[in-house]
Amino acid sequence: MRQSQRLDRIPPYLFARIDEKIAKAKAEGIDIITLAIGDPDTPTVQNVVDKMHTAIDNPKNHDYPPYDGTQEFKKASADWLKRRFGVELDYKTQVLANIGSKEAIAHVFFAYVDAGDYTLCPDPGYPVYQNATILAGGIPYSMPLLAENNFLPDFDKIPEDIAKKAKIMFLNYPNNPTGAVCDLDFYKKAVAYCKKYDILLCSDQAYCEMTFEGYKAPSVLEVEGAQDIAIEFFSHSKSYNMTGWRVGFVAGNKDAIKALGTIKNNIDSGVFKAIQEAAVEAYNTPKENIEKLNKMYQERKEVMEEGLRKLGWNVKPSKATFYLWLPTPKGFTSEEFVTEMLERAHVVVPPGNGYGKYGEGFFRIALTKDVATIKEALSRMEKAGISYNMEKTAVC
């Protein structure tokens, strides 16, 4: 049987390759520390779990849910946006429930991209942006995220002929994988650019509540006129430790919400209503509980940052996400360095080139292990002679 040619254009999913390496090492009896995947290691916040116990026992939640989400969930999501960002939306037409952001992000390309259309994707970036473009028949154009630009794209560097053919621009701040942040002025530039070229601006806000150092993430929907051309993807996964629950919402331009909803109506049957009830309860999570989670990640990042400085890396304190984005030692490619980490220190981190060609020369650390494990990883690196100033040997 011959598979679709579009699958030949999709590179192996980064974390599937990482899982294979972990499985192989474990099969050889090696004790592995993985700092690779952004999956919280602490439980879902308790008030959400308690609500789910009640909701799942209610027979009214056992039938098909509304395709676009229950009215209660959509209204609660719009209310949360109003409290958090001061943004007012019509929850009936401008909010759509999704089965986690990954699903909705992938589907929006099918709503807007025809064969030969371009999309503007951050590079390095979440792999789904480029891969979903390819699956929809489009052509991803990389917007380089460079250290000298604080990992923000330079819209002036996008060729005008590409901009005129582009249908979608994706932004993601706070950013995965770099941990970079932006301000409202940056979003104003993005909105103006997308209006000029009639591009749908898609903002991925998976990490908006995971911030430190006094930083508070803005929403693109705060920009005047943004609702004319922008939608924003919000996820419960990281804010409330709900990665496995697969729930979130998209909000913004009503025409884009309707178009995305049409794709979803033909592909999925919505989010289990009991999960939507629990997701509504998540908005009621006491502020101190969210602050406690962020304090935990801040402690972890400070331990890791200090340990990496001792190993020679010039690490500036990150302001958001539970990721650190770091340059590989001189002379090492991304793949070579993470192989050294695995084979010599038995620590797994993903290579930067797995997030795009401009990720080459970097690697990412996920702070999804406790402080003791982070200290052990740093100790292993030191004992294995892994540092920013390490020299490449002939075996690399």
Provide DSSP, 256-316: HHHHHHHHHHTT-----HHHHHHHHHHTTS-HHHHHHHHHHHHHHHHHHHHHHHHTT---P
Q: Which residues pair with 234 in a beta bridge?
A: 249
What letter would DSSP give residue 99?
S
Q: Pick the range with the lowest mean pLDDT from 20-29, 121-130, 137-146, 356-365.
A: 20-29
pLDDT at 10 over 90: no
Question: Mean pLDDT score of the chain, rounded to an integer?
Answer: 95
Which residue segments constitute the domains of the chain, with CATH numbers given?
A: 5-43+287-383 (3.90.1150.10), 46-282 (3.40.640.10)
Distance CA 208, CA 204 (A): 9
Distance CA 35, CA 367 (A): 7
Q: What is the arithmetic mean of pLDDT over 352-377?
A: 97
Q: What is the arithmetic mean of pLDDT over 10-23?
A: 74
* 109-162 pLDDT per residue, tens: 999 999 999 999 999 999 999 999 999 999 999 999 999 999 999 999 999 999
**What confidence score (pLDDT) does residue 11 get?**
77
| Whole-structure pTM value | 0.94
Q: What is the arithmetic mean of pLDDT over 276-286?
A: 97
**What confidence score (pLDDT) does residue 118 get?**
98
Q: By C-alpha distance, which of 320, 328, 390 is closest to 359?
A: 328
* E strand intervals along the chain: 33-34, 95-98, 118-123, 139-144, 166-171, 200-204, 230-235, 248-252, 323-327, 347-348, 362-366
CA distances from 90 to 81, 251, 263, 278, 392 (A): 11, 9, 21, 22, 57
Q: Label residue 14 by pLDDT band (50, 70, 90).
A: low
pLDDT at 394 over 70: no
**What confidence score (pLDDT) does residue 396 get?**
43
pLDDT at 23 over 60: yes
Q: Over pLDDT 70: what percentage of the chain? A: 98
Q: Over pLDDT 90: what percentage of the chain? A: 89
Cβ within 8 Å of residue 6, ≥6 positions away: 134, 135, 137
**What confidence score (pLDDT) does residue 19 get?**
76
Left if phi > 0, otherwise alpha if psi is -120 to 50, otherwise beta: which for 381?
Answer: alpha
User: How many residues would you count in the chain?
Assistant: 396
Cα 63 to its chain centre, rounded Å, is 31
Pairing of strands 323-327, 347-348: unpaired
Q: Label residue 13 by pLDDT band (50, 70, 90).
A: low
- CB contact at 8 A, 162 and 141: yes
